[in-house]
Structure 1
Amino acid sequence: MLHLNMKYMMFLLLSILITACSSSDNTIDEEVSPPDLEPMFYKGMDLSFQSELENYNVTYRDTNGTPVDLLNFVTSKGTNLIRLKLWHTSHNGENTLSDVKAYATRIKNAGSSFLLDFHYSDFWADPGTQTPPAAWQNMTQEELRTAIYSYTKDVVTQLKNQNTLPEIIQIGNETDSGFLWNHGKVWDAFSNNWGNYAALVREAIRAVREVDTDGNVKIMLHHSNVEESTYFFNELAPFGIDFDIIGLSYYPQYQTKDLNLVANALNMLAITFGKDILLVEVAYPFTLQWDDNQTNYIGSLNQTIPEFSPTPEGQKAYLEWLISIIKNIPDHRGIGFCYWAPDWVTFPNNDISVSGGSAWENQCLFDFDHKVLPALDVFNNN
């Protein structure tokens, strides 16, 4: 009897020990749960000129003057998002789907995220010019909705099939006044046309969502002006558009130079609409000089921000300030920036197909000798 009791007691003791160990393990599992991952902060560049500039064997150099492969160099220095524009049927043979597909493969191989910018035009689209592709002109509203859906779905499908699905897709470029005029125009005599614009945008987004079955692609709508964008998104709000990111351009030569006003406008957008915000087009000069005979977009001191001189140091300080205000947008809604055309340098024997030179060389991230400027350090340090 005593022998049996001893066995029973040993069994009870063993059970208690097993239970205690199990409880302890459970407690440890709960306490050592992995921390939340920090959201991606995009430090991007629009390299849409690269497929063209590479035809001219333009050489970019590091701080020592050593030639570098541009894409691999900038990604090694912290760039983690590359933006490419897409024209439907290009006027000059550039920014075609074949160009985008080829460069997208290189972007992914370089370990960067990819942002696709649909212009829905055969050439540049911006607030003053939103010309439909020639193939879509003279269509009815219903035909145009079918066209934008089919075209968008075909492009995104081709990118998915080659394993280069973009992380972000932009539906139209600087669409302050709508796009695909006049069917999608929301400006001047068409200020009551928001329903038609929204219907076209909705069809493009539906196409993306149907291809992106895993829900990995973020949809961005793009406005050209930080200060004036609230009106645009207020007008669009009643239509319940399914998008994720407010994309904005900020060029001080065209917009406010008041730093507090910029910060306040960004903060108010985030609070009002509850969307992530990406400064998808930004730039700043490192000099007011020029390196060719092409008139530059910015060439006088009154076009710059007083706090940031048009010098290499001022350009770097501008980017540091920009990153600071984006990171301080409420609720972590500021997700990054994209520097526009950091590579659009001038070079010997510029061909007319590159605008007869560059109107941007003094806002690049490479100097007139094509050596990288200090501003690129900001990409690595944030």
Structure 2
Amino acid sequence: MKFQKIPLFIFLLLALSCSENDDPNGDSNPENKFYRGMDLSFQSELESYNVDYKDANGNSVELLDFVESKGTNLIRLKLWHTPQDGENSLEDVKAYALKVKSKNMDFLLNFHYSDYWADPGTQNPPAAWQNMTLDQVKSAIYDYTKNVIAQLNAQNTLPEIIQIGNETDSGFLWDYGKVWNEFSNNWVNYADLVSEAIRAVRAIDTENKVSIMLHHSSVENAIFFFNELQVYNLNFDIIGLSYYPQFQIRDLNLVTSKLNELASTFDKDILMVEVAYPFTLQWNDNQTNYIGSLDQTLSEFSPTPQGQKAYLEWLITTIKNIPNNKGIGFCYWAPDWVAFNGNESTSTNGTSWENQCLFDFNLKALPATYVFNYN
């Protein structure tokens, strides 16, 4: 591409009016990048349904092109070991990672270290690891992680961020790395397993280009978790947090103070890696939604398209105001998980999320999609 010479006075005006965050793909200094992300882990499955996503004017769009044009600069993809029910396999992740990189967006890889969904209440090891000794599991997590990263690196899709486990409040790979209930004194084993995963990443990422993230499901309880880990000196870079108002505190001043306390206590970057908010309390298929009543929402933000947009604007401002520039962005969870099989979808092939998507029931982009260019 050839660039025309810009007169000096125009260049100076542009420089004064723009910031590094105006570029939806970030800037040349990753440390200053503010992530405006989306978790598109469902796309490997949804693409087979030929979902007709549309812009706000009702024009059909290709999803990845559209979200990139609106300012999205990070795509998160979940990975399961041996998927049981259509979740992402390594081949799925590799294929979609190529698409992400072709759009010059960054890539966040979320290891579940399970064959099915992992969260604070369920952290089952892959079936292939369940009869192993602790030492064997340590070897398995190292070998598996290294193989995944090696394959991604070989196709030039090395992630910018790698998440070691999903919402690991209670540890992971139960009971080997469980730190909950009767295993509350098991932090050393959890830390050892995390260390093996990190060591595997660094075996491939020898230049330390990848940032390592640990993920906790709640803003208010994360301080305890990371305090427990401090003694083990784990080599990670980012505190990843989920914030879903229906499950957590709804006092926004307390949310802000907890985020600020995390930043000042642990001197780590903070990424709000799972966030969402409803644009309606209605539904568009026959599966029960996670949010369906007003008492599950925030009083400050109505469950309307404008309320969803206002919530996201508040969230971005809050993250950007975390002390010492430690707030590095957010990732909207499943903005694309619409009623993909029509409004007669059942509990087995529907979605529990369509009223928290960033596309309405006519699959038109909602006002919140325009907040991704927020500066």
TM-score by length of 2: 0.91
Aligned to 2:206: 213
Task: Find the residue that maps to 1:67 and give its secondary structure.
Answer: coil
Q: CA–CA distance in 2 between the matches of 1:153 and 1:347?
A: 35
CA distance in 2, matches of 1:66, 1:215: 42
Q: 1:156 aligns with which of 149, 156, 159?
A: 149
Residue 350 of structure 1 and its aligned partner are, at CA, apart by: 7.8
**Equivalences for 1:225-236 in 2 at 5 Å?**
225-236=218-229
Rounded Cα–Cα distance in structure 2 between residues aligned with 1:227 and 1:322: 16
- 1:71-150 equivalences under 5 Å are 71-150=64-143
Q: What residue is the counterpart of 1:68 in the other structure? A: 61
Match of 2:368 among 366, 369, 375: 375
Residue 36 of structure 2 corresponds to 43
Is the 1:350–1:356 Cα contact (8 Å) retained in structure 2?
A: no
Q: Secondary structure at the match of 2:200?
A: helix
**Which of 350-359 and 247-256 deviates more?**
350-359
Question: Matched residues in 2 for 1:353 and 1:157: separation?
Answer: 39
Deviation at 1:355, TM superposition (A): 3.9
Deviations 1:20-70, CA, capped at 9 Å, x for gaps: xxxxxxxxxxxxxxx995700000000000000011111100111111000
Structure 2's unaligned 5+ residue stretches are: 1-19, 21-27
Distance in 1 separating the partners of 2:306 and 2:289 = 20
Shift of 1:111: 1.1
The correspondence for 1:192, drawn from 178, 185, 199, is: 185
Equivalent of residue 363 in structure 1, options 352, 356, 361: 356
Q: How many angstroms apart in 1 are the aligned matches of 2:122 and 2:80? A: 14
Say if 1:169 and 1:219, in contact at 8 Å, map to a contact too: yes
2:283 aligned with 1:277 = no
In structure 2, what is the equivalent of residue 311 of structure 1?
Answer: 304
Q: Secondary structure at the match of 2:78?
A: strand
Aligned to 2:240: 247
Select the residue among 273, 288, 292 that pairs with 1:295: 288
| 2:32 counterpart SS class | coil
Q: For residues 251-266 of structure 1, what are the structure 2 equivalents within 5 Å?
A: 251-266=244-259
Which AA in structure 1 matches 2:119?
D
In terms of Rg, which structure is larger? 1
For the residue of structure 1 that corresponds to 2:110, the secondary structure is strand
Q: 1:353/1:104 Cα in 2 relative to 1: closer, same or farther (>3 Å)?
A: farther
Distance 1:320 1:45, change over 3 A: same
Residue 6 of structure 1 corresponds to none
More off after superposition, 89-98 vs 179-188: 89-98
Cα distance in 1 for partners of 2:87, 2:180 equals 29
The C-alpha deviation readout for 1:183-207, integer Å capped at 9, x for no partner, is 0000000000000000000000000
CA distance in 2, matches of 1:285, 1:294: 16
The CA deviation at 1:380 is 1.4
The one-letter amino acid of 2:138's match is R
- What do residues 288-325 of structure 1 show as CA deviations (whole Å, max 9, x unaligned)? 00001110001110100000000000000000000001
- Alpha-carbon contact 2:107-2:161 (below 8 Å) kept: yes
Cα-to-partner distance string for 1:212-242 (whole Å, 9 max, x where unaligned): 1121100000000000010000001100100
Amino acid at match of 2:67: V
| Whole-Å separation in 1 of the counterparts to 2:292 and 2:344 | 23
Whole-angstrom distance in 2 between the partners of 1:55 and 1:207: 33
**TM-score, normalised via structure 1 length:** 0.89
Q: Which amino acid aligns with 1:269?
A: L
Q: Which amino acid aligns with 1:307?
A: E
Cα separation, partners in 2 of 1:269 and 1:355, compared to 1, 3 Å: farther
1:149-206 CA-to-partner distances (Å, cap 9, x unmatched) read 0000000000000000000000000000000000000000000000000000000000
Residue 256 of structure 2: SS of its match in structure 1?
Answer: helix
Displacement of 1:347 after TM fit? Answer: 3.2
Deviates more, 1:223-232 or 1:206-215: 206-215
Residues 1:351 and 1:83: Cα distance change in structure 2 (over 3 Å): farther
Matches of 1:144 and 1:296, distance apart in 2:
36
User: Is residue 286–residue 347 contact of structure 2 (8 Å, CA) maintained in 1?
Assistant: no
| Residue equivalent to 2:25 | none
When residues 107 and 353 of structure 1 are mapped into structure 2, their CA distance, relative to the original with a 3 A threshold, is farther
Q: How far apart are residue 94 of structure 1 and its match?
A: 2.9
- Partner of 2:91: helix, strand, or coil? helix
The 1-side partners of 2:57 and 2:282 are apart by 23
Give the AA of the match of 1:359.
S
Q: What's the % identity of the aligned pairs?
A: 70
